[in-house]
Every structure is written in structure tokens, then in C-alpha cells.
Amino acid sequence: MSPEALQSVIVLLIGFAVAGLLSSGYQLVTERPLSFRLLNGGAQAVTFLAIPVLTFAAPFVIMRNVVRGRRIERRRIEFVMLATILAGFWSLMSGTVVVTAFSALSQLFA
């Protein structure tokens, strides 16, 4: 495996880990699962605060909804594969932002 491919896999995993951490942290504090329904609150402070959280936690929320939909509603496997690709790409992008932010912070404090 090339170093670039390994780096992409690590960034992907970091993106999913951050998504799971944010979603679990939200559920720990509010005692209900994180959902995209938070964006339906209208022009409130909670809605605006939910945007950055959902931006980074979306891969976890998407995969949780897809797995539940496949198990409960018997959704087609094509839909599951498409949602998995979407969540993976989203996780790769958010993981890149997280790694870049940590890299910038390490340069700032070095």
C-alpha cells in the first residue's frame, strides 16, 4: 500500500472517529440520538449551534440511519451502498479538516 493510500485510510478513520465521538457526546448530554431534525428548529441559537456539530458528525448519523433502515425497513442494498460511499467521502473530507487543524495547532504551539 502506498503512503498516500495509507494516509487517506487513516484520515477516513479519523473522520469516522470524530463523527462517532461527537454523536455519542451529544447523546450523552441530551439523552437522545443526534439527528438532522435539529436543523428544522427555525432561526434559533440551537439550530445554528447544530450546524458545525452535524457537519462533522454526519457520517455517523448517515450510517446509523442506513443500518437501521436496512434492518427495519428492508431498504435495497443499492441504497445502502450509495449511502456508505457518501458517508465515506464525507468522513474523508471532515477527517482532512480535523487533521489539517491539528497540524496547524501543532505548528502554532511548536
Owning domain of residue 64: 3-109
Q: What's the whole-model pTM score?
A: 0.88
- pLDDT tens sequence across 11-22: 999 999 999 999
Q: How far is 57 from 33, CA to CA, in rounded Å? A: 11
- pLDDT tens sequence across 64-101: 999 999 889 888 899 999 999 999 999 999 999 999 99
Which helix (DSSP H) or strand (DSSP E) does residue 40 occupy? Answer: none
Q: Which amino acid is at 65?
A: N
**Total structural domains within the chain:** 1
